[in-house]
Amino acid sequence: RTVTISYRSYGVIQPVESQRAFGKALAERDLVAAVAANDAVVGASEEVGTIDATIEVTPEADGTWTAEVPIDPALYVVQVEATCGDPLADGFSYGARLFYLGGGYADVYADRVSPTSSPVGGQVAAYLYGDCEDGATVTIGRGDEVLAESSSVVPTWTVPSKVTLTAPSSPGTYDLRATCDGEVGDWSTYEVFTPDEVSAEAPLAADPTEGWPSQGSRETYHGKIGPITLPPMEMGDMASTSGSKAMGPSGLFIDVPKPEGDFAITKIDIDLVDADGMTVPATSAHLHHFVFGASNGTNPACPNGSTFGIPGSIVAAAGAEKTVLDIGDPYGMVVKGTDTWKGVYELMSRSMESQEVYLTYDLTYRRDVSNVRPVVRYFGSATGCSTFNWTIDGSGTPDTQSTYIEIQKSGRLVGGGAHIHNGAAYADIVNDRDRLLCRSEITYGSNEVGHAMPMLKRAMDEETTTTMVDDDPMVDDDYPPEFYDDDLEIAGISSCALAESVTAGERIRFDTVYENDRARSGVMGIYTLMVWEGGGPAAPGPDDAVAVPGSPSYTG
């Protein structure tokens, strides 16, 4: 018999801006925008250098065969089909493969950049992954003009390689490119701005603690998600609430019930419990994250898209520390009866036994919304709005990941805090005068709860239940672990009640600092800022008003 190999090789010219729009939408998990951007890419693409050919080979006596398919390295993809025998007769064989050649794109990319935007002339750090024998660099420029270039490093795929360069001296939007052996492998836009000292030189006077108007008593709502089945850790298979790894938009998020009508939240307490309502110990299960928000709202920290793929405004978020969000009078998060809440969670089993667990969220709220100063929540990552975790290399030099948060409307910053992981030194919120507004630090418990495995490898070796599941996760024994066996449980993370005047256009810096004494994957630095933009009572009410005391906490 004869084996017939048909192959087609081609390249595609695509507009850069269309590619960027598609990549941005995909990174933010904005599927509607991604489909539209992809249609634009396809519509504007031009196929070039197409090669169609057929090869016939005769198998060896043992049935094996080989064939060499000539390729043009300037092209992007080769589609190969092999057939043997009569398609209508017994013994017919068919095989097909698709090979991506790269098409001039180098094998390197910038996993993260710190800060995510920079003041003019600022120091910029980029962290590269790749395979470049002759070295990789990062450049900042426009078009063919290179305005800044880093020194060369030889990157790997296991831990990031750090390079530094200086931001241009003029503000504007630039191209940041990762290059390998002289070819571009990855590029993104990078903003450079002129720093302004518009923030206040000192805090405002604290709000009065008594006398604020209040009508009616506080109400409570006990929200519950579950039961969620966590099979034994040793089973090592990923599960999803949707029951599918190929999920459409509805599979990414779950519905999160809420009270009816309009109300203002003053406290949120999130927990992971068993069927009896008892808190599941950290040695049995790990709450990696539970985040939910109003899908019809907007997160002012990420006004141009979703937050890590979560649409709308963020109402609540918690990790292993399960910090309680407690907003002092007269402030509250106002929720409309027409709001729709959606959420996403990830849980990790740490037990050798199957368990059924529940996510709970207890809301304390008030109905007298007119007596509340409404706050908006700025929520995001030190890596920006598209991604939320990164890898540190364990070099022994502290790792700092920074971002700038632009205030959308003038008002009063009343609280702030951060979510960080094991190994973090602290996370800081700093104004444009370099005045420290808040430092979040970890308080550890006494139980060792770590499992030494990579974040991406845990999909194979540790049982995880999540509403967001990555298909075909990368597995590499050399990839650094997210947790070490001697990591202690996180008992709490500090937050801050604040009284700061903020101005529209002001940039607040968020720094996440890891000790970096050991390499880790999946580290995080998530911030929360609570800002009152106006509305509600201007001052405490009459002497007979009923005051409700509170203990502000701003990281839940």
Q: What percent of the chain has pLDDT over 90?
A: 48
Is pLDDT above 70 for 554? no
* Token output for 206: 């604290």
Q: Is 459 helix (H, G, I), strand (E, B) or coil?
A: helix
User: What mean pLDDT is predicted for residues 432-456?
Assistant: 81
Asked if the model's pLDDT at residue 312 lies above 70, the reply is: yes
Contacts of 144 (CB under 8 A, 6+ apart): none
pTM: 0.76
Please report the pLDDT score of residue 426 as a whole number.
98
Identity of the amino acid at 305 = G
Q: What is the mean pLDDT of residues 61-85?
A: 74
- Which residue spans within 18-75 are E strands per DSSP? 46-57
Architecture of domain 108-193: Sandwich (2.60)
Length of the chain equals 556
Domain ranges, ordered by start, for the chain: 3-100, 108-193, 219-532
DSSP calls for 103-130 = TT--SEEEEEEESSSEETT-EEEEEEEE
DSSP bridge partners of 290: 318, 345
- Partners of 136 in the beta sheet? 153, 180
pLDDT grade for 219, boundaries at 50, 70 and 90: very high
Q: What are phi and psi of 323, to 5 degrees?
A: -65, 135
Residue 78: pLDDT band with limits 50, 70, 90: confident
List the single range of 16-25, 88-97, 400-409, 542-551 with lowest mean pLDDT.
542-551
Residues 6+ apart with CB under 8 A from 300: 376, 378, 407, 408, 409, 531
Amino acid in position 191: E
Structure tokens at 148: 């800044």
More confidently predicted of 451 and 523: 523
Rounded Cα distance between 523 and 422, Å, is 8
In angstroms, the Cα distances linking 132 to 29, 129, 155, 247, 323 are 30, 9, 6, 35, 43
Distance CA 67, CA 2 (A): 12
The pLDDT of residue 462 is: 40
Neighbours of 430 (CB within 10 A): 18
Cα–Cα distance for residue pair 226/358, rounded to 1 Å: 5
Beta bridge partners of residue 289, listed in sequence order:
346
- pLDDT class of 69 with cuts at 50, 70, 90: confident
- Rounded to whole angstroms, the Cα distance separating 384 from 556 reads 19
Give the whole-angstrom CA distance, residue 292 versus residue 253.
9
Predicted local distance difference test score (pLDDT) of residue 102: 53
pLDDT mean over 432-443: 96
Among 358, 346, 339, 360, which Cα is nearest to 268's? 360
Average pLDDT over residues 220-239: 74
Between residues 263 and 345, the one the model is more confident about = 263
Q: Detail the DSSP E strand segments found in 121-262.
A: 123-130, 136-142, 145-149, 161-166, 172-180, 183-193, 219-230, 238-240, 254-255
| pLDDT over 90 (residue 66) | no
Amino acid at 443: T
Least confident interval from 202-206, 249-253, 340-344, 412-416: 249-253
User: Would you say residue 266 has pLDDT above 60?
Assistant: yes
pLDDT digits (tens, 9 = 90+) for 234-256: 533 333 232 222 222 323 578 89
Q: Which pairing describes strands 238-240 and 519-523: parallel, antiparallel, or unpaired? A: unpaired
- What is the distance between the alpha carbons of residues 137 and 220, in angstroms, rounded to a whole number? 55
What's the Rg (C-alpha) of the chain?
A: 27
β-strand pairing of 108-114 with 77-84: unpaired
Q: Which of 422, 445, 454, 449 is nearest to 524 (CA)?
A: 422
Q: What is the mean pLDDT of residues 438-464?
A: 65
